[in-house]
Structure 1
């Protein structure tokens, strides 16, 4: 019988979440202190929003965004990709993992989704629906 090694529907394991958070903190510290000798990278403050790891912890996707729009996200990703080897070495030295994970940098779109959610909640039809649900809950709570 064959068994699947990874179940994509299950979500990340506790180990994946813990290692991802440790890598996020390590990268944030390295970038904050300016330990990488690249003037383009040190010129822009970069926020590391999230790190998601593959189940075998060999590949990590790092979601980044230049702080307060200090530069285009594409330039930040290019600068990080140029220094991927050095960043990977720093992560490997800091963590006690069997393998230093391969780092892949992607734009962090969390803030865009947050703005879209706010826009949806401010829509008058959504406000009307929320108000109707709140009135129904008060009626149910008052009986009894």
Structure 2
């Protein structure tokens, strides 16, 4: 398995976490208000669960999920197609000297929570827990 540039070393710095959270909030707000000039993207309700930044803050990966989990691939395509405008709007709103390049990935957190719930409900696991 290759190295993941977001998880080398001791973990993200406070600065990475702070910038990531600022970008997450701003991106969520921009998507919610429909500030982008793409009617297809504006029609979608997209949740931004987390934004992770690279240690040098040049790349920000937003983990997203459309409402109800439907149209995931379409959401990723629309976000990618509008990433230059999203980056410009986020940079302007945050007043950052350098706005990271935005990348988008599906947020797997909800799937993982469902898998964990399913696993905890298995009879042999219930027996071991009790």
**TM-score w.r.t. structure 1 length?**
0.82
Match of 2:44 in 1: 44
Rg (Cα) greater in structure: 1
Q: Could you say which residue in structure 1 is the equivalent of 2:101?
A: 102
Q: For 1:106, what is the secondary structure of its paired residue?
A: strand
- Alpha-carbon distance in 2 for matches of 1:7, 1:39: 36
Cα displacement string for residues 100-141 of structure 1 (whole angstroms, at most 9, x for unaligned residues):
10000001111100000001101111111111xxxxxxxxxx
Partner of 2:3: none
Aligned residues: 125
Q: Where does residue 18 of structure 1 map in the other structure?
A: 18
Map Cα deviations across residues 79-100 of structure 1 (whole Å, 9 max, x no partner): 0111101100011112233311
Q: What does the per-residue CA deviation read over 1:56-78, in whole Å, with 9 as the maximum and x for residues that have no partner? A: 11100011111123x41110011
The root-mean-square deviation of aligned C-alpha atoms, in Å, is: 1.5
For residue 28 of structure 2, what is the aligned residue in structure 1? 28
Indicate the residue corresponding to 2:111 in structure 1. 112
In the aligned structure 2, how far is the partner of 1:125 from the partner of 1:7?
Answer: 33
Larger deviation, residues 92-101 vs 39-48? 92-101
Unmatched tracts of structure 1, length 5 or more: 1-5, 132-144
Q: Indicate the residue corresponding to 2:81 in structure 1.
A: 82
